[in-house]
Chains A and B, each alone.
Chain A
Amino acid sequence: MTTRAEFFARIRGELRKKPALFAASTAARPEHPAAQADAIRRELAERWPETLEAFRLEFERVAGVFHRVASLDDVAPTIDRIARERGARELVSWHAASVAGDGLSRALTARGLGVQEMPAGEAADGAERARLRAITARADLGLTGVDLAVAETGTLVLVSGAGRPRSTSLLPPCHIALFDRAALVESLPQVGVFLEAWHGDGAPPADGAVVNFITGPSRTADIELTLTRGVHGPKEVHAIFVDGGLRG
């Protein structure tokens, strides 16, 4: 173990030996990331149908299953169909405020699914936390919202936080993510701008401990380079796009 001062002193000492070597330039950072993120949103509002189509292509290429529905009312029937086809009954969900509001859980329960919504904040105690984890580990389906959907790579970006536990998109064998045009971005560099903006901001979703990029179902090729899905994370990832928007 060395102290922080010793550690940096050693690096500085080495750098001084050959100063000319370290002229390397880094990528230009956005100066006002929050303003730039807003600009990206405004530009994309014009051409979201193309961005959505590009996302669908890439998402399906990484073995995601894409659904598109007209309004929030059509979401529960779609999830019900996904559940029925898999003989799945138990669903865990992010807190309603981070998905699509209160109506969805009620609609799913009415269709006979067992729905466990995650609390809006911390669990009261360790026992409650353990109970929720056990339910999540048993569940067939995990329902979440999406912070960014990246067309270039077919990636879903999910930020953890209050009411949005990370295990919902991780432990159940089937992950269903709900999004609308507000989440669409075109490229990884645009994601970079949003990450910078969130860092400067500190308001949700920027306040979570972990940002997860999810690009299709869990996979491995560790045994004889044979592609196999669902090794630790979900075997299936569904994305449901709501034309009418998630906020009605």
Chain B
Amino acid sequence: MVDIARRAGARMAVKSKSMATEEIDLNEALEREGITPVETDLGEYIIQLAHERPSHIIAPAIHKTKGQVAELFSRELKRPVEADPEELTRIARAELRQKFLQADIGITGANFAVADTGTVVLVTNEGNGRMVTSLPRVHVAVMGAEKVVPSMTDLMVFLAILAKSATGQKLSVYTTLVRGPRRAGELEGPEEFHLVLLDSGRIAQLGGPLREALSCLRCGACLNVCPVYRQIGGHAYGHTYPGPIGILLTAMLEGTGSVKELAHASSLCGACADACPVRIDIPKMLIELRREVDDQKIAPWIERVTFKLLAQVLVRPALYRLAARVGRVLQRPFARGGTISRLPLFLDDWTRTRDLPPVASRTFQERWAAEREAAP
């Protein structure tokens, strides 16, 4: 990418929203070469001014208030700016319009590619995708290798699915089908068109346990319904792709070791699988990841030993009953106000961020036995 930009003699690159270029830290690489990358999706523009990373796949600046956005804009423009979304959008339009007209190179992601016709497809609501692919001299699209669909017939199906799941529209405002550089007879359009296919772990999953995650359209529906995402927000995941699908994608792109904690950042409630328009069974794969984290001895040994012991206890009713009775005695010094929030020794680490419900004064098994006794 840097080579292409350098050969084009580029000093500024305009970008439309692309998670794939976030994944490869492209902006940093361009900056090191003295090429200024300018994000043009309004949300991405905002977080670029704030020197942050997207917190949501579809609405990257969803964590910012209009007051914070106004502050960022007035710092950039060195004049006071009113905290009104309409006004802020107008300012961004004027600022970015100049950049579109000046930039030497346009960088985009790709929502789909059509194998039959050699077409790259971009979907946006703002129109920045059209600007970036029309005005600069060179257009480079960066696409995950899994985004190819066989034909235009398939594309029509996916366009409708993506719009509905991402934003509840029948179709996004702009769908741009790029079939190559400017053709003979055309007044405008880029002279060069490059397509960069990104593997980074994707192809290895074609036959792997995470293969279903390759069907992801990046619509963000699973983020919106996830109780964990809604509590902690996108940045807490600490990787390019947040949310339930983000855990799977992170494992795919960076290896299972990178999700040893994240694999557990799910209640397995299944809301994501219900919301997913392409029926990716996210909870099933999260369980698979947890097993892998254990099998590959990625989890700390103390955790693995504890869970092994626990498993032995859970499958033996007599042992389980005994453990409940022992636990009831042992927990006495630690149970306060109906929770155990601190345990000694190696368990201290575990309780530092978690509360544990104490063993009940009468366990379910004891109550069940008593009920049976009393019944006629």
List chain A positions with a Cβ less than 8 A from chain B: 2, 7, 10-11, 14-18, 21, 26-30, 58, 62, 118-119, 121-123, 129, 132-133, 137, 152-155, 160-163, 165-167, 170, 188-189, 191-193, 195-196, 199, 207-226, 228, 230-234
Number of B residues near A (Cβ < 8 Å) is: 77
- Closest residue to B65 on the A side, CB-wise? A224
A210 to B133 CA separation, bound complex (whole angstroms)? 9
The answer to whether A212 and B130 have CB atoms under 8 Å apart is: yes
- Closest residue to A221 on the B side, CB-wise? B59
A113 to B181 CA separation, bound complex (whole angstroms)? 33
> With A26-B150, A233-B174 in contact, do A211 and B207 touch (Cβ < 8 Å)?
no
The answer to whether B69 and A220 have CB atoms under 8 Å apart is: no
The answer to whether A153 and B188 have CB atoms under 8 Å apart is: no
A221 to B85 CA separation, bound complex (whole angstroms)? 9
A222 to B59 CA separation, bound complex (whole angstroms)? 6
Residues of B with C-beta under 8 A to A218: 125-127, 173-174
List chain B positions with a Cβ less than 8 A from chain A: 40-43, 46, 59-62, 64-66, 69, 85-86, 88-89, 92-93, 96-97, 100-101, 116-117, 125-128, 130-131, 133-135, 145, 149-157, 159-160, 167, 169-189, 197, 199, 203-208, 211
Residues of A with C-beta under 8 A to B89: 220, 223, 228, 230-231
Residues of B with C-beta under 8 A to A2: 199
The answer to whether B59 and A231 have CB atoms under 8 Å apart is: no
Our count of residue pairs bridging A and B at CB distance below 8 angstroms stands at 229
Residues of A with C-beta under 8 A to B211: 21
The answer to whether A212 and B186 have CB atoms under 8 Å apart is: no
A133 to B43 CA separation, bound complex (whole angstroms)? 27
- Closest residue to B61 on the A side, CB-wise? A222
Residues of A with C-beta under 8 A to B208: 14
The answer to whether B127 and A231 have CB atoms under 8 Å apart is: yes
- Closest residue to B183 on the A side, CB-wise? A209
The answer to whether B185 and A121 have CB atoms under 8 Å apart is: yes
A44 to B199 CA separation, bound complex (whole angstroms)? 44
The answer to whether A225 and B62 have CB atoms under 8 Å apart is: yes
Residues of B with C-beta under 8 A to A165: 186-188
> With A14-B203, A29-B151 in contact, do A217 and B183 touch (Cβ < 8 Å)?
no
The answer to whether B130 and A170 have CB atoms under 8 Å apart is: yes
A216 to B124 CA separation, bound complex (whole angstroms)? 12
The answer to whether B40 and A232 have CB atoms under 8 Å apart is: yes
User: Taking the nearest CB of chain A, how far is it from the CB of B117, in angstroms?
Assistant: 5
User: Taking the nearest CB of chain A, how far is it from the CB of B315, in angstroms?
Assistant: 32
Residues of B with C-beta under 8 A to A153: 160, 170-171
The answer to whether A222 and B185 have CB atoms under 8 Å apart is: no
